[in-house]
């Protein structure tokens, strides 16, 4: 088996990935892909598709519909590189399937590192209204390509746990509903079965760290909308692996998950009758903060826990993880990706012991007079 590092796309790294990072990569794939500008964003940035393969099963994949969710884009370019190694696996994929991949659907959001597009619209709530050029590009591609499967690739925040557990949700998936009743139709079963296959392949390397999103129906979401048009649609969410704020480990797991799903489709293994264990996956819960400092004493003598969440802020082309207070109180039911025991000592945040339960940016922090700023930084 080929070593992942031998085809990992090294020019893409970290969390900030935008058009100017991927455009130079087109020429290295021109020999194996048809690369087309399929439209433009609000700010007239190009949106590209890469088409690979000649097979009859059509797979439509898009990433960075939310501009700041770049992990899956990195994994896609790893996949593109993998396709240059013309072994049996690649031969199977490209002879059974045709892939149409949109690496960055929301290039304006990617540039500014925002979820929304340049008009402040969440494209994943615009599937019916189609008010944005990016939404139209995706729907037009869907209509002309006529996919048998859709892969809707996203990234999730660090707050998610795999069920009610102290395990971070590293990967989560969803077979979206396609009606209010959340009926388990054949289309949904097929998508569920692909997710089951991924879980079976990855559960040993990610024990209890793979989960599923809740399936409340919202026709304005693109996945629900395509599913309701009877195309099995699989939502991927690249999540947080402990310590991996750059999402380089998760990127590798996403690559594995993509490859597993493409292969089971190419091998014609997905029939929609082995979906049941999808429901055994834990549902995502929001039990995590980036940091919890436990047992510290505020100005008014109260013993509290302080939860800190990083805000990802783009400054001079660099992504900063700015610590903010997220919650103060008794936080026994929550977990921190990092936990610090304050030993019932007094805490000072920005030189005040009055800890506002707000989004205060933490510039200075000390516990019992000892500076903790370095300890709360992303390492
Ligand atoms: Zn998203």
The per-residue pLDDT string of the chain (379 residues; one tens digit each, 9 = 90 and over) reads: 789 999 999 999 999 999 999 999 999 999 999 999 999 999 999 999 999 999 999 999 999 999 999 999 999 999 999 999 999 999 999 999 999 999 999 999 999 999 999 999 999 999 999 999 999 999 999 999 999 999 999 999 999 999 999 999 999 999 999 889 999 999 999 999 999 999 999 999 999 999 999 988 999 999 999 999 999 999 999 999 999 999 999 999 999 999 999 999 999 999 999 999 999 999 999 999 999 999 999 988 999 999 999 999 999 999 999 999 999 999 999 999 999 999 999 999 998 888 887 778 999 999 999 999 999 999 7
250 three-state secondary structure: helix
Distance 149 CA to ligand 1 centre (A): 19
Distance 64 CA to ligand 1 centre (A): 7
Residues with CB under 5 A from ligand 1 (ion): 66, 69, 154
| Rounded Cα gap, residues 363 and 148, in angstroms | 51
- Adjacent-strand bridge partners of 329: 305
Distance 182 CA to ligand 1 centre (A): 21
Distance 345 CA to ligand 1 centre (A): 40
How far apart, in Å, do the first and last CA atoms of the chain sit?
Answer: 33
Contact indicator for 261, 194 with CB cutoff of 8 Å: yes
Q: Please determine whether the domains at 4-285 and 288-376 fall in the same fold group of CATH.
A: no
pLDDT of residue 178: 86
pLDDT of residue 358: 77
Chain-centre distance of CA 167, in angstroms?
A: 17
Superfamily holding 4-285: Zn peptidases (3.40.630.10)
Annotated domain spans of the chain? 4-285, 288-376
pTM (two decimals)? 0.97
Distance 300 CA to ligand 1 centre (A): 41
Distance 236 CA to ligand 1 centre (A): 9
Contact indicator for 194, 270 with CB cutoff of 8 Å: yes
Q: Domain 288-376 class? A: mainly beta
3-state helix, strand, coil in the chain (%, to 5): 30, 30, 45
Q: Which long-range contacts (CB under 8 A, 24 or more apart) does 30-33 make?
A: 32/80, 32/83, 32/84, 33/80
CB atoms within 10 A of CB 23: 14
Distance 255 CA to ligand 1 centre (A): 17
215 three-state secondary structure: coil
- Adjacent-strand bridge partners of 361: 324
DSSP H stretches of helix in the chain: 19-22, 26-29, 71-82, 88-96, 107-112, 133-145, 186-202, 222-228, 248-266
Closest C-alpha to 224, from 276, 181, 258, 262: 181
Distance 351 CA to ligand 1 centre (A): 37
CB atoms within 10 A of CB 318: 9
DSSP conformational letter for 379: -
Distance 107 CA to ligand 1 centre (A): 14
Q: Which long-range contacts (CB under 8 A, 24 or more apart) does 135-142 make?
A: 135/222, 136/39, 137/38, 137/39, 137/40, 137/47, 137/102, 137/105, 138/62, 138/65, 138/102, 138/105, 138/222, 140/38, 140/39, 141/38, 141/49, 141/60, 141/100, 141/102, 142/60, 142/226, 142/231
**Measured over all CA atoms, what is the biggest interatomic distance in the chain, rounded to whole angstroms?**
69
| Rounded Cα gap, residues 81 and 75, in angstroms | 10
| Rounded Cα gap, residues 99 and 18, in angstroms | 22
């Amino acid at each position: 088996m080929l070593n992942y590092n031998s085809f990992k796309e090294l020019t893409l790294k970290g969390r900030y990935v935008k058009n100017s990072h991927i455009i130079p990569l087109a020429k290295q794939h021109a020999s194996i892909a048809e690369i087309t500008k399929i439209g433009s964003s609000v700010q007239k940035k190009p949106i590209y598709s890469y088409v690979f393969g000649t097979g009859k099963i059509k797979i439509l994949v898009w990433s960075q519909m939310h501009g700041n969710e770049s992990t899956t884009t990195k994994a896609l370019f790893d996949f593109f590189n993998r396709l240059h190694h013309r072994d049996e696996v690649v031969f199977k994929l490209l002879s059974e399937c045709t892939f149409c991949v949109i690496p960055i659907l929301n290039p304006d959001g990617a540039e500014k590192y925002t979820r929304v597009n340049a008009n402040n619209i969440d494209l994943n709530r615009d599937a019916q209204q189609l008010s944005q050029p990016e939404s139209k590009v995706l729907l037009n591609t869907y209509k002309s390509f006529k996919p048998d499967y859709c892969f809707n690739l996203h990234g999730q925040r660090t707050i998610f746990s795999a069920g009610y557990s102290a395990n971070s949700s590293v990967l989560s998936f969803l077979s979206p509903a396609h009606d209010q009743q959340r009926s388990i139709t054949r289309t949904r079963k097929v998508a569920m079965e692909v997710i089951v296959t991924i879980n079976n392949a990855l559960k040993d390397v990610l024990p209890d760290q793979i989960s599923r999103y809740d399936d409340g129906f919202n026709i304005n979401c693109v996945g629900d909308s395509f599913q309701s048009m009877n195309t099995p649609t699989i939502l991927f969410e690249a999540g947080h692996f402990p310590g991996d704020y750059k999402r380089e480990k998760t990127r590798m797991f996403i690559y594995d998950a993509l490859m597993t799903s493409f292969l089971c489709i190419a091998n014609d293994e997905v029939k929609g009758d082995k979906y049941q264990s999808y429901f055994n996956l834990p549902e995502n819960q929001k039990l995590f903060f980036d940091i919890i400092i436990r047992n510290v004493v505020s100005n008014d003598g109260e013993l509290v826990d302080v939860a800190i969440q990083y805000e990802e802020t783009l400054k001079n082309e660099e992504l900063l993880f700015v610590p903010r207070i997220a919650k103060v109180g008794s936080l026994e039911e929550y977990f921190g990706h990092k936990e610090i025991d304050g030993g019932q000592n007094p805490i000072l945040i920005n030189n005040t012991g009055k800890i506002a339960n707000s989004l205060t940016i933490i510039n200075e922090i000390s516990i019992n007079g000892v500076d903790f700023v370095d300890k709360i930084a992303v390492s």
